[in-house]
């Protein structure tokens, strides 16, 4: 059975509105699937109310929908319980939550291990923690292809390591981290593991139990869900050990002028009115995604990525920022064409309806590693097809004709 | 429609306040809050051979909570820690649709609460607090 | 010209779907106006893309829409510049931002002045700051009606006061704070002023310049906009003086493995992908609200509140939690009926389609002050009408018949 | 359509690289980054009586940025700090729809950039950096 991109495409209303658009910026934001759109609309138009406090029917329906979304997320992640799912504003908010709540327990000299491939959202929060608490950041180097250099894990994870915070998959190179040795090395020194799943969740269900992590962060808007919502999954005992981060309504047990007690997870970490409609939309998106034929979908996107790589490889001087084959990687293809600036490339491609991104991709340390200032990145979703890839390749020939 | 949420028998049960009050020298006392509504139940027990010999409760809560506490007052003596824990689960199951456990037929008064998930906690709170008070007594020993 | 609630009601699709609903929980969440719904839908279906980074057309449209929303918010608040508008996840997130970013500059012994009427979201973040940095919290007491006791300001604002963080209007009593003496007292000791505007913005445009505050926080979902978004307005020089709070993409100047520089406000405070569609929806809501006939609308809701107060006043033993007249207050009416629990009242009212809230309203210190465990609160919006009030009053008679 | 964003005259201007290079002993040097794209412009100036006598720039940036820097190289000498600041504002105005300021007619090459607000910064950066370099020189004195 060959997968039909056209069939998948039908579930994304924006794409129907732009029949000539070649949207290849899926790593920045995925298009909203109709399941999410419909769930948000249904919520807003039939049972919008604040959650977890009201006793009237509308509020009960809103509560059920919100808690149902938590269950849908838990199911997608194979979490042991929906109480392990914290709704946040996005990946960045989730990681900052851990950097503060877990960070509170760290002291000068404690170590956090990152990698040079991290997105700024999994870099800057730790630099800020270093400022606040004097922890030491250790940065795992990369192989020449841009993968985490796991051979050197032993040099970088010391007995002082308290947390390993690395990406599940890179938003630039597409490389999927081989987590088995990472988790084992962290466990060996008693460190917790946080995975940045911002790029991974949209390529099929994740099994947090099998990954063996303690925390997993991702965003709704990259997973074909609404913006304004994200998730921090945390193993029950890992969440239970954390103090709250943000203070406000909903996360307390009892507030006194002098003393305040806190609610149990996940509510302890959901201060204030949560992104209700957005969580409901994300739940619906993941519920729909969970049932998709991922083996076929991933074979389809890998084929497209390979077609793109093969087509680009013949361009003179072009450097791939990341692996050149499709083993253990996502359909994200980044490249640099010396002498032509990524933004100029993107602009010319845009004239042909090809939407790709150019720049540092919020990964400046990785750009520095590759010795480039920026790169062009095409990121593929199952609704993309051969025509999208060919439009990009044709556009690149135009770029070279016109800009060199 | 939850027309019969406040049926007369439930109001009567709440008003009866079986077991309401204080014990002079309890073996264990537990205090539990509902984060949703700020309700609070205090439960005191005297044990004999690990089983509740006497109990008393003080409820700042809604009718459902008071009726549930009254029911605990009516049938709660004789329970040990394990049975009290099991009872809490059976009450939760009843609210989810199961039949009341043997000896607790009055729990059927709470059937109209089923569709109102936000109120389940109100019914459960006295049962959970009873269990907590028994556990507390064991710690005192 | 008498204002027609029915005409306003037409702009709220959920209300059309529930013709017999008497929605009086507007202080918890307002219903979504069609302007916001349409703006979100239009964005998601025609120019969804990530913002501030893309150079293709879809991204340019998304950028324009997002920055346009910032301008719409600025206009509603009469801000000096749209650069003073920071999009956040909500009021709670906005206040926590200040508690961290401004709080970083405080030291043991510095004082923050709150009031006993604050919502937990303007209480707990400061208690947590006290834990972190040893600041002293001073809590301004209340008059018997539940208003801030301004006569005692002098006793509570000392030269050590660095920040005054008070509510613009109470979510329980509806009392509007008389800000003139508060701001003057703060200025006299060089303290900054943060206003919790969560309840105020939905009752007409706010003039932050006239209020003289430094920071103003509110939520989209209470202002007939989407959930998952809020605003922190800050005076330009006040924002410029703050370090960032959350770290991540978009808020940086340049990220190096060792050193990182930060962007200017407002982006400095918008780490990660912001709530794009939600901000656009909020902008549209405020743009629509700005043009409404607020004098008439507020007279209408005040009349309804007075009708409710008058109707309730005859109930034996009923206590109002807050002022009994409509001077300097919002159409929020909270009360306690001794011997009947708020949740039981709400439940009986719900049978009649009357949606009101019972409980501590995330204001336990205020509940303690009034010596009650909880209260029933009806909060009125311009789409409410006499029938809503009368249904509530009729329901209360039923409550008393059945539950006493 | 932005068909003519990369018209030949603009490419030529960028390629010409007027003023590209380094000065042996500048009075002031400024470095400015674009947070959007990570682009970076370094501008060096030598002043005489407060006016630019010589300048040199080094651009890591896109064609628009390089063309703008080249334009600064072409006409930037003779400016003082105030004029350089005013020029930045005039460039922004040109991008917003106004006519180019006198003596800078080549700015019309950037008219196709107008609808692309995200690229305005690329054009502005060299002008702003020139102003910053002059300010820097004054500090050195
Ligand atoms: C006065 C006041 N402040 C703060 C908040 C918190 O707002 P949110 O829950 O939207 O963050 C609320 C609403 O619950 C409120 O009424
Ligand atoms: C790997 C990775 N981590 C973190 C993020 C941040 O996600 P968000 O901007 O949704 O918070 C992104 C997306 O930009 C990403 O690709």
pLDDT digits (tens, 9 = 90+) for D45-59: 999 999 999 999 999
The chain-wide mean pLDDT, for chain C, equals: 95
Pocket of ligand 1 (CB under 6 A): A 249, 272-273; C 27, 90-92, 119, 121-122, 167, 171, 196, 198-199, 219, 362
Residue C153: strand, helix, or coil:
helix
- How do beta strands C136-140 and C111-115 pair? parallel
- Per-residue pLDDT tens for C130-164? 999 999 999 999 999 999 999 999 999 999 999 99
DSSP C82-115: GGGEEEES-HHHHHHHHHHHTGGG--TT-EEEEE
Contacts of A38-43 with CB under 8 Å at 24 or more apart are A38/A284, A39/A280, A39/A281, A39/A283, A39/A284, A39/A285, A40/A226, A40/A277, A40/A278, A40/A280, A40/A281, A40/A284, A41/C41, A43/A276, A43/A277, A43/A280, A43/A281
Distance from CA of C1 to the nearest CA of A (A): 30
- Per-residue pLDDT tens for D79-105? 999 999 999 999 999 999 999 999 999
Distance from CA of C316 to the nearest CA of B (A): 19
Q: Is C254 on the interface with D (CB under 8 A)?
A: yes
Distance from CA of C77 to the nearest CA of D (A): 25
In this structure, the dihedral spanned by the alpha carbons of residues C275, C277, C281 and C283, taken in order and rounded to 10 degrees, is 60
| Token pair belonging to C45 | 């279906």
Residues of D in contact with A358 (CB under 8 A): 37
CB of A199 closer than 6 angstroms to any ligand 2 atom = yes
Q: Distances in Å between the alpha carbon of C193 and those of A15, C74, C188, C215, C333?
A: 47, 18, 12, 6, 27
Chains within contact range of chain C (3+ C-beta pairs < 8 Å): A, B, D
- Cα-trace Rg, chain B: 14
Residues of C in contact with A50 (CB under 8 A): 25, 28-29, 221
Contact by Cβ (8 Å): A42, A372: no
Q: Is A359 on the interface with D (CB under 8 A)?
A: yes
DSSP A228-297: S-EEEEE-HHHHHTSPPSS-STTSEEEE-SS-EEEPPTTGGG--SS--HHHHHHHHHHHHHHHTS-HHHH
Confidence of residue B2 (pLDDT cuts 50, 70, 90): very low
Phi and psi at C105, nearest 5°, equal -90, 0
Residue C138 CA to ligand 1 center (angstroms) comes to 21
Residue C261, beta-bridge partner list = C254
Residue C69 CA to ligand 2 center (angstroms) comes to 23
Least distant ligand from the CA of A362: 2
- CA D4 vs. chain centroid, Å, equals 21
Residue A290 CA to ligand 2 center (angstroms) comes to 21
Contact by Cβ (8 Å): D48, D32: no
Element (H, E) at D54: strand D51-60
- Cα-trace Rg, chain A: 22
Residues of A in contact with D65 (CB under 8 A): 341
Residues of C in contact with D35 (CB under 8 A): 252-254, 263, 267
Q: What is the pLDDT of residue A261?
A: 79
Residues of C in contact with B39 (CB under 8 A): 341, 373
By CB neighbour count within 10 A (0-12 exposed, 13-18 middle, 19+ buried), where does B80 fall? middle
Name the least confident of A361-365, C7-11, C232-236, D32-36: D32-36
Phi and psi at B32, nearest 5°, equal -130, 135
Rounded distance between C-alpha atoms, residue A159 and residue C285, angstroms? 54
Rounded distance between C-alpha atoms, residue A227 and residue C225, angstroms? 15
Are A59 and C25 an interchain contact pair (Cβ–Cβ within 8 Å)?
A: yes
Are D116 and C60 an interchain contact pair (Cβ–Cβ within 8 Å)?
A: yes
By CB neighbour count within 10 A (0-12 exposed, 13-18 middle, 19+ buried), where does D91 fall? buried
* pTM for this entry: 0.95
Distance from CA of D133 to the nearest CA of C (A): 19
Rounded distance between C-alpha atoms, residue A319 and residue A21, angstroms? 26
By CB neighbour count within 10 A (0-12 exposed, 13-18 middle, 19+ buried), where does A286 fall? buried
pLDDT above 90 as % of chain A: 91
CB atoms within 10 A of CB D8: 9
Number of inter-chain CB pairs under 8 A, A vs C: 288
Q: What is the pLDDT of residue B117?
A: 86
By CB neighbour count within 10 A (0-12 exposed, 13-18 middle, 19+ buried), where does C383 fall? buried
Rounded distance between C-alpha atoms, residue D112 and residue D120, angstroms? 11
Residues of A in contact with C362 (CB under 8 A): 248-250
Confidence of residue D77 (pLDDT cuts 50, 70, 90): very high
| Token pair belonging to A401 | 């004709």
The chain-wide mean pLDDT, for chain B, equals: 92
Phi and psi at A3, nearest 5°, equal -75, 140
Q: What is the pLDDT of residue A262?
A: 87
What residues does each domain of chain D span? 3-140
Least distant ligand from the CA of A202: 2
- Per-residue pLDDT tens for B75-123? 999 999 999 999 999 999 999 999 999 999 999 999 999 988 889 999 9
Residue C165, beta-bridge partner list = C194
In this structure, the dihedral spanned by the alpha carbons of residues B91, B95, B98 and B102, taken in order and rounded to 10 degrees, is 30
- Per-residue pLDDT tens for C349-366? 999 999 999 988 999 899
Rounded distance between C-alpha atoms, residue C284 and residue C136, angstroms? 40
| Token pair belonging to C198 | 């969560």
Q: What is the pLDDT of residue A1?
A: 39
Contact by Cβ (8 Å): A58, A64: no
Chains within contact range of chain A (3+ C-beta pairs < 8 Å): B, C, D
| Token pair belonging to C130 | 């006290």
Which atom number of ligand 2 is nearest to the Cα of residue A222? 10
CB neighbours of C110 closer than 8 A, spacing ≥ 6? Answer: C133, C135, C136, C160, C162
Q: Is A395 on the interface with D (CB under 8 A)?
A: no
Are C341 and B1 an interchain contact pair (Cβ–Cβ within 8 Å)?
A: no
CB of A91 closer than 6 angstroms to any ligand 2 atom = yes
Confidence of residue C262 (pLDDT cuts 50, 70, 90): confident
Q: What is the pLDDT of residue D1?
A: 35
Are A48 and C29 an interchain contact pair (Cβ–Cβ within 8 Å)?
A: yes
Q: Is C61 on the interface with D (CB under 8 A)?
A: no
First to last CA, chain B: 49
CATH number of D3-140: 3.90.1010.10
Q: Is A63 on the interface with B (CB under 8 A)?
A: yes
Confidence of residue A253 (pLDDT cuts 50, 70, 90): confident
DSSP A14-44: HHHH-TT-EE-BTTT-PPPPHHHHHHHHHHH
Residue C196 CA to ligand 1 center (angstroms) comes to 8
Element (H, E) at A121: none
- Per-residue pLDDT tens for B21-43? 999 999 999 999 876 666 889 99
Nearest chain D residue to C59, by CA = D118
- Per-residue pLDDT tens for C54-79? 789 999 999 999 999 999 999 999 99
Are C351 and B60 an interchain contact pair (Cβ–Cβ within 8 Å)?
A: no
Q: Residue B48 above 70 pLDDT?
A: yes
Q: What is the pLDDT of residue C256?
A: 67
Sheet holding C332-336, edge to edge: C319-320, C332-336, C375-379, C357-359
Name the least confident of C228-242, C247-261, C315-329: C247-261
Confidence of residue C3 (pLDDT cuts 50, 70, 90): low
Q: Which residue numbers of C are catalytic?
A: 362
Are B6 and C344 an interchain contact pair (Cβ–Cβ within 8 Å)?
A: yes
Q: Residue A256 above 90 pLDDT?
A: no
Confidence of residue B141 (pLDDT cuts 50, 70, 90): low
Q: Residue A259 above 80 pLDDT?
A: no
Nearest chain A residue to D122, by CA = A343
In this structure, the dihedral spanned by the alpha carbons of residues B128, B130, B134 and B140, taken in order and rounded to 10 degrees, is 100
Are A55 and B38 an interchain contact pair (Cβ–Cβ within 8 Å)?
A: no
Residue C121 CA to ligand 1 center (angstroms) comes to 6
- The pLDDT of A107-120, averaged and rounded, is 97
Confidence of residue D131 (pLDDT cuts 50, 70, 90): very high
Distance from CA of C133 to the nearest CA of A (A): 12
- The dihedral region occupied by D38, where left means phi > 0, alpha psi between -120 and 50, and beta the remainder, is left
HSE of A314 in the Cβ direction (CA atoms, 13 Å)?
A: 8
Contact by Cβ (8 Å): D83, D135: no
Domains of chain A (ranges plus CATH)? Answer: 5-30+293-403 (3.90.1150.10), 37-290 (3.40.640.10)
Q: What is the pLDDT of residue D2?
A: 43
Nearest chain C residue to D38, by CA = C254
Contact by Cβ (8 Å): C135, C112: yes
Nearest CB to D118; choose among C63, C253, C254: C63
Are C374 and B38 an interchain contact pair (Cβ–Cβ within 8 Å)?
A: yes
Are B118 and A252 an interchain contact pair (Cβ–Cβ within 8 Å)?
A: no
Are A63 and B33 an interchain contact pair (Cβ–Cβ within 8 Å)?
A: no
Residue C384 CA to ligand 1 center (angstroms) comes to 21
Least distant ligand from the CA of A54: 1
Q: Residue D35 above 80 pLDDT?
A: no
Q: Residue A54 above 90 pLDDT?
A: no
Residue A218, beta-bridge partner list = A231
Nearest chain D residue to A404, by CA = D11
What ipTM describes this predicted complex?
Answer: 0.94
Rounded distance between C-alpha atoms, residue A89 and residue C348, angstroms? 36
Q: What is the pLDDT of residue A404?
A: 82
Q: Distances in Å between the alpha carbon of C244 and those of A96, A118, C218, C265?
A: 12, 20, 19, 9
pLDDT above 90 as % of chain C: 91
Are D35 and C253 an interchain contact pair (Cβ–Cβ within 8 Å)?
A: yes
Range picked from B136-140, C119-123, D137-141 for highest mean pLDDT = C119-123
- The pLDDT of A86-91, averaged and rounded, is 98
Nearest CB to C360; choose among B11, B38, B119: B38
Best mutation site among C30, C91, C96, C377 for ligand 1 pocket (most ligand atoms within 8 Å of CB): C91
């Amino acid at each position: 059975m060959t997968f039909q991109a056209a069939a998948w495409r039908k579930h994304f209303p924006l794409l129907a509105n732009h029949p000539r658009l070649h949207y290849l910026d899926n790593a920045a934001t995925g298009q909203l699937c109709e399941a999410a759109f419909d769930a948000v609309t249904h919520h807003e138009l039939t049972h919008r109310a604040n959650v977890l406090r009201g006793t009237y029917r509308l509020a009960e329906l809103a509560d059920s929908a919100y808690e149902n979304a938590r269950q849908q997320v838990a199911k997608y992640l194979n979490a042991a319980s929906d109480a392990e799912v914290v709704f946040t504003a996005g990946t960045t908010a989730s990681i900052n939550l851990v950097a503060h709540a877990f960070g509170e327990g760290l002291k000068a000299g404690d170590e956090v291990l990152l990698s040079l491939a991290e997105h700024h959202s999994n870099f800057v929060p730790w630099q800020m923690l270093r400022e606040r608490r004097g922890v030491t950041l250790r940065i795992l180097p990369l192989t020449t292809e841009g993968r985490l250099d796991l051979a050197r894990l032993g040099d970088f994870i010391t007995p002082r390591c308290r947390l390993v915070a690395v990406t599940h998959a890179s938003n630039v190179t597409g490389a999927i981290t081989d987590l088995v040795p990472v988790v084992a090395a962290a466990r060996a020194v008693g460190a917790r593991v946080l995975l940045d799943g911002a790029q991974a969740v949209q390529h099929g269900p994740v099994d947090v139990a099998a990954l063996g992590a303690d925390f997993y962060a991702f965003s709704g808007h990259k997973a074909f869900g609404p913006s304004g919502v994200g998730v921090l999954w945390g193993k029950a005992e890992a969440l239970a050990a954390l103090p709250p981060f943000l203070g406000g309504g909903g996360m307390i047990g009892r507030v006194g002028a002098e003393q305040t007690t806190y609610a149990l997870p996940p509510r302890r970490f959901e201060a204030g009115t949560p992104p209700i409609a957005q969580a409901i939309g994300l739940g619906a998106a993941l519920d729909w995604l969970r049932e998709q034929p991922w083996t076929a979908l991933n074979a389809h996107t890998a084929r497209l990525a390979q077609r793109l790589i093969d087509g680009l490889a013949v361009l003179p001087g072009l450097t791939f920022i990341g692996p050149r084959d499709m083993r253990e990687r996502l359909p994200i293809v980044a490249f640099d064409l010396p002498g032509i600036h990524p933004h100029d490339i993107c602009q010319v491609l845009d004239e042909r309806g090809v939407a790709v991104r150019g720049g540092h991709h919020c990964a400046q340390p990785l750009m520095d590693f590759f010795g480039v200032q920026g790169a062009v990145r095409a990121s593929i979703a199952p609704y993309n097809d051969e025509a999208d890839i060919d439009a990009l390749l044709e556009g690149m020939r135009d770029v070279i004709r016109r800009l060199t | 429609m939850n027309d019969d949420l406040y049926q007369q028998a439930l109001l009567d049960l709440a008003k009866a306040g079986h077991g309401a009050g204080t014990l002079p020298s309890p073996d264990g006392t537990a205090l539990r809050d509902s984060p949703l509504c700020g309700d609070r139940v205090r439960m005191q027990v005297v044990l004999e051979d690990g089983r509740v010999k006497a109990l008393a409760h003080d409820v700042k809560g809604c009718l459902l909570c008071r009726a549930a506490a009254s029911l605990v007052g009516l049938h709660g003596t004789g329970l040990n820690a394990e049975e009290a824990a099991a009872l809490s689960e059976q009450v939760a199951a009843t609210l989810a649709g199961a039949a009341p456990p043997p000896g607790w037929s009055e729990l059927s008064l709470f059937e109209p609460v089923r569709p109102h998930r936000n109120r389940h906690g109100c019914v459960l709170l006295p049962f959970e607090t009873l269990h907590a008070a028994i556990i507390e007594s064991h710690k005192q020993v």
